[in-house]
Structure 1
Amino acid sequence: MSTRKLGAIASALAVALLGASFMTGNVAAREADKEGSAKPADLAKADNDFGIDQFKRLHKDGENTFISPTSIATAMQMATEGARGETKAELEKALGTADIDTPEAVKGFGAELAKRDGVKLSMANSLWADPDRVTLNDEYVQNMQDYFDSAVKTADFGNPATVKAINDWIAGKTNNLIRDMLKEIPEVAVSYLINAIYFKGDWTVKFDKKKTKEADFHLAGGDTKKVKLMSRNDDIPYSEQDGVQIAKLTYGKDKKNAMWVLLPSEEKGLDQLVKDFDAATFKKWQQRTWEREGTIKLPRFKLHFKKELSDSLKAAGIV
């Protein structure tokens, strides 16, 4: 396995913060008689499809892109439960959840996240509303608490202390890794829907620190950079398909969480990999990957990514 630019698709730590300025007047309650799948697996597939679409829209050549599909989708699903009519249909179409009983699936998904051994994986939701700008339907609030396990808070959006309160909530749910998310609250905002995901885990098979060496790392643009490369030799789920090397690095004792590392060939390149990437292709690659002995070298890295999602959401059909 060579050490060219890595394209890592991973959901590790992120915050999705949605200013729901469309939530004026009374918010529609959940349709209790909606028919649809309540399986967390179906919701996860919809989240992945939506997340990959957002990833491709946000990616810029030569730049790192780091998002959590679940974090973005969950915030949007909370908004969907507070919408009705054409707005609700528009959101469900974009999210791919028209045939899914989203609240029930979200509840099951949250329970599944708790079943992890050797990793800490938690998800937290909150709804913040200015009572002078919006009236929340009681049943909607109850659904947020029952299905999304969401904290529901009211606050004066014109008071700078509210910015601090929201930022403190986010920092608390992400172990202080994400701070000062908001600088100010715009006048058009009437509520905020926030999802925070925190992940911390040990590799199932740890990298030996003594084997970490400085070496050349080849960037997508062709330049070379000296970096600290971790190295590990053992049985690793691996395959080569469609001009891409695929490796799976698991976390925890139960191996339920994993980082999938995708390394395109020089001919394919990272930008073409992103353009060609979709959920069906990724599933095919996963199914055709099996353990084999080999050496993987991975750079130590830290990612910070902050992006306004309005344009990418509009491009996906959410206006």
Structure 2
Amino acid sequence: MRKVMIRKRLMAGMLAGMMLLSGCGKSENGTTEDRQKNTITEAEDEKTDSEISEEKGDYLTVSTGKTSALGKDLTAKDVTDPTEDARNEFIKNTANLSFDIMKARTKADSGKNVMISPDSIISALAMTLNGADGNTQAEMLKVLGGKLSEKEYNEALSSYNRMLSDSDSVIFRNANSIWVRNGEDLKVKKDFVQTNKDYYNADLYVSDFDQATVTDINGWVNENTNGMINKVIDNIQPDSMMYLINAVAFEAEWAEQYEDYQVKKDEKFTNSDGKKEDAAFLSSKESGLIELNGGTGFAKAYKGFDYYFVAILPPEGTSAEDYIASLKGEDFVNAYRNRDYEPDIFADLPEFSYDYSTSLTDTLKDLGMADAFSDNADFSRITDPDMMKLKIDDVIHKTHIELDQYGTKAAAVTAIALAGNAAPVEKRIVEIKLN
């Protein structure tokens, strides 16, 4: 029988962490409503919803208040499941986009361990897409969904996120929220709010966008990442009008836990920059060999056998950065699906914890959605551009992971900041000549 040794240089914090966070299970709390219940600080306005919010035609508006759940009474409507062709197109495009982002960040953050959550990123971008129109919409949709229509993409991602919540063996939270600055200048269209409620169960909050709002947003993130990420923003810029935020939390035990004798203390782990660090290694025999572009890896099951941690070792003499640059997402999916169960795999997996933070602004521009960040951005399905012109100012992404002999805890947050300026009011010009 063929034997494969995978040890020491395992690229656990990169491909493994990336794919882990994009495939997780279900909250023990049960329903989606329970999982996504949000807590706002005591600064929450004491006014009733009827005093805070009102509907004017196609818009939701607010006149005053601190942090208030303006859209909390909206009911998510049933959505259609995607066709098989749309589902496959979604999987292929999401895999390729995941690796494209991973390649870009690995190159930009050369020498650092990079870890992203594709599911968190695309969930936040999808909410934003639902407010885009014209060329902005076309660019975003092409990057996210390839040949899919916006409706097909929403159906596929919504179905995918429901699928992630279909295991009772792990704890999973996926929460979405939209935060809007108080004021008459920004009137949010009801269709935008309802669409994101339907597909992503997004809650809408209206706030003064002061330091108390920073506390509220970070509190929401802390709660919905199970305390693993306690902050996503430090302050709010004067021209920031809206935040669209996704938070993901995952906790799972190994299906086959490591015994104490399988934990090797005082070993050395080689980081992506070549530096060695002290680490404990988890030694085990695994099955399901993954072979991809000369690299070898394995998939280790979590309790319930619905989800797996994937770890890949680059070819000898190839850096993690160069190896990632050689990969395509759909090739990874095919390699994972076609695992070889014949050989015995003897693997040493390091225990580790890691936090990663980055801005995805330049990456997303380079991948083809530059219009959304420009002064030409068209988010007219969020608000009337004659009242407020919006564009993406920044896309903040943070991840956290802890892996030990008992299992894995991981979390991610993606916050998209929309900046805007009130449209100038045309002044009436009156010419008076006293001849």
TM-score range, shorter chain: 0.7 to 0.9
Report the residue type matching 1:257 in the other structure: Y
Between the aligned partners of 1:284 and 1:106, the Cα distance in structure 2 is 20
Aligned to 2:376: none
Alignment of 1:1-319 (within 5 A): 1-7=6-12, 8-9=14-15, 10-12=18-20, 37=83, 39-59=86-106, 60-100=109-149, 101-132=152-183, 133-157=185-209, 159-213=210-264, 214-233=266-285, 235-253=286-304, 255-291=305-341, 292-319=343-370
Between the aligned partners of 1:37 and 1:136, the Cα distance in structure 2 is 31
Between the aligned partners of 1:139 and 1:239, the Cα distance in structure 2 is 45
Between the aligned partners of 1:84 and 1:50, the Cα distance in structure 2 is 21
Shift of 1:300: 0.4
Give the secondary-structure state (helix, strand or coil) at the position aligned to 2:345. strand
Shift of 1:193: 0.5
Q: 1:283 to 1:154 in 2, by over 3 A?
A: same
Between the aligned partners of 1:148 and 1:275, the Cα distance in structure 2 is 32
Shift of 1:162: 0.8
Q: 1:221 to 1:96 in 2, by over 3 A?
A: same
Shift of 1:104: 2.2
TM-score w.r.t. the length of structure 1 is 0.86
Aligned to 1:22: none
Between the aligned partners of 1:195 and 1:106, the Cα distance in structure 2 is 13
Between the aligned partners of 2:127 and 2:135, the Cα distance in structure 1 is 16
* Runs of at least 5 residues in structure 2 that lack an aligned partner in the other structure: 1-5, 23-57, 60-81, 371-435
Q: 1:288 to 1:147 in 2, by over 3 A?
A: closer
CA contact (8 A) 1:12 1:198 kept: no
Shift of 1:314: 1.1
Shift of 1:44: 3.7
TM-score w.r.t. the length of structure 2 is 0.64
CA contact (8 A) 2:98 2:329 kept: no
Report the residue type matching 1:276 in the other structure: S
Q: 1:91 to 1:241 in 2, by over 3 A?
A: closer
Shift of 1:57: 0.8
Q: 1:219 to 1:114 in 2, by over 3 A?
A: closer
More off after superposition, 106-115 vs 300-309: 106-115
Q: How much identity, in percent, do the aligned residues show?
A: 25
Q: How many residues matched?
A: 297
* Runs of at least 5 residues in structure 1 that lack an aligned partner in the other structure: 15-25, 28-35
